[in-house]
Structure 1
Amino acid sequence: MENAKLTKRKKQAIQTKQNIYNAALALIQHKSFDDVTIEEISKKAEVSVGSFYYYFHSKEDIYLSMFKKLDEELFRDFNPGDYPQSGEDLLITFFLQLARSVSDLGLNIIKYSLFKEGPVPYYKDLYMSEALQKIIKTGQADNVFTSSMSEDEMTEYLFIIMQGVMLDWCITDEGYSLEEKTEQLMRRVVLSIKY
């Protein structure tokens, strides 16, 4: 219904921005993020370079948009009560979904994220951090997870482990399934935080 209120021009602008985003995503599936140029993105999206800069200030904006979009789609409205799983299984499902989404973004964008200079999206500023803390809080209240670590400490602990898995996946150039490895390791990690 909200889309019906948009003017034709506004709908076209939204579509153009999405086309630029999709073109960039398609290109980085085959080349490193650093090697993809704004000119290539513009050409693939069938827009001028000027149009690119109208919607995005830089390639970095597209990179940040990818993580923001992933974070919002997966975790903005997350509520542990919506899932019938135990705290342990919900925690593993959370990281499996994250691994699946990271795999879908592709190796090149994750390599860029892990190895780029300058700031990266910090997990504490993302919905995924809030979602994970809700899982932990619920698990601690149900005496599933230890209370020897605060929610913040446990969140940091788990994200550092996940970053390590992603780093190894990048180093091995997708030498294994990120989802399978994440499930395998997170099942072991859960034992370290059980009550």
Structure 2
Amino acid sequence: MAAKQNVKSRIVDAAWELFYEKGYDDTTVEDIIRLSETSKGSFYYYFGSKDSLLDTLSDVLDENYAKLEEELDPEMDSFEKLMYLNYQSHLFLETKIDIQLLASLYSTQLICKGSRNLLDQNRKYYKLISKIVEEGHVRGQISRAKTIQEITKYYSLCERALVSDWCLNRANYSLAEYSKEYMPILMEHFRVR
């Protein structure tokens, strides 16, 4: 099972790397197979087409969150952990995900009738943010004026707002640096000093 997941992950990672470097339209299934060092059979076992890879953005982002979680200093202030995650995740978006593709995917999430995988509360993203907020409640570093779920929802809303604005402005500024400046302001109400 782990080997199968490894093949799928390699395909997903290769696809998103190519989407960023070459653009979605100029990336072929053959390019993805070559970079992932897999086979055509493996590709089509997991994905019906190149288009079906677009549904894996939340997986790519959650894989990045898993890596970031490992980097976190357990002694770091919980509010600062949230700000660190915000900065690093937005740096990842800025440097690894094609802006046109990101904007397109955000817009399809707005109009799709099925599940909106970016909002799936079972994602690593939501679990990690909730865990840090809960830790902040216990440590007295994040206000208890709102529940863990409410603060997590607000945090994710602020992140999406910053990303949406960056997409609307066609990436004419650094998302990571803009977020570093404004996310603490947006979240200040929840910080305990």
Asked if these proteins are the same fold (TM beyond 0.5), I'd say yes
For residue 50 of structure 1, report the CA deviation from its aligned partner. Answer: 6.9
Distance change >3 Å, CA 80–CA 149, structure 1 → 2? farther
**Contact (CA 8 Å) 1:27, 1:41: kept in 2 or not?**
no
**Partner of residue 112, structure 1:** 104
For residue 125 of structure 1, report the CA deviation from its aligned partner. Answer: 2.3
1:84 maps onto 2:75 in alignment: yes
Letter in 1 for 2:158: I
Distance change >3 Å, CA 184–CA 55, structure 1 → 2? same
- The percent of aligned pairs where both chains have the same amino acid is 18
**Partner of residue 150, structure 1:** 147
In 2, Cα distance between equivalents of 1:81 and 1:23: 28
Letter in 2 for 1:42: V
In 2, Cα distance between equivalents of 1:61 and 1:46: 15
**Contact (CA 8 Å) 2:78, 2:141: kept in 1 or not?**
yes
Runs of 5+ consecutive residues of structure 1 not aligned to the other structure: none
In 2, Cα distance between equivalents of 1:19 and 1:132: 27
Distance change >3 Å, CA 175–CA 87, structure 1 → 2? same
**Partner of residue 14, structure 1:** 7
Runs of 4+ off more than 4 Å: 46-52, 79-82
| Rg larger in structure | 1
RMSD (Å) for aligned C-alpha atoms: 3.3
What is the count of residue pairs matched by the alignment?
181
Compute the TM-score of the two structures, normalised by the length of structure 1. Answer: 0.75
**Contact (CA 8 Å) 1:137, 1:151: kept in 2 or not?**
yes
For residue 140 of structure 1, report the CA deviation from its aligned partner. Answer: 1.3
Letter in 2 for 1:109: L
Distance change >3 Å, CA 28–CA 72, structure 1 → 2? closer
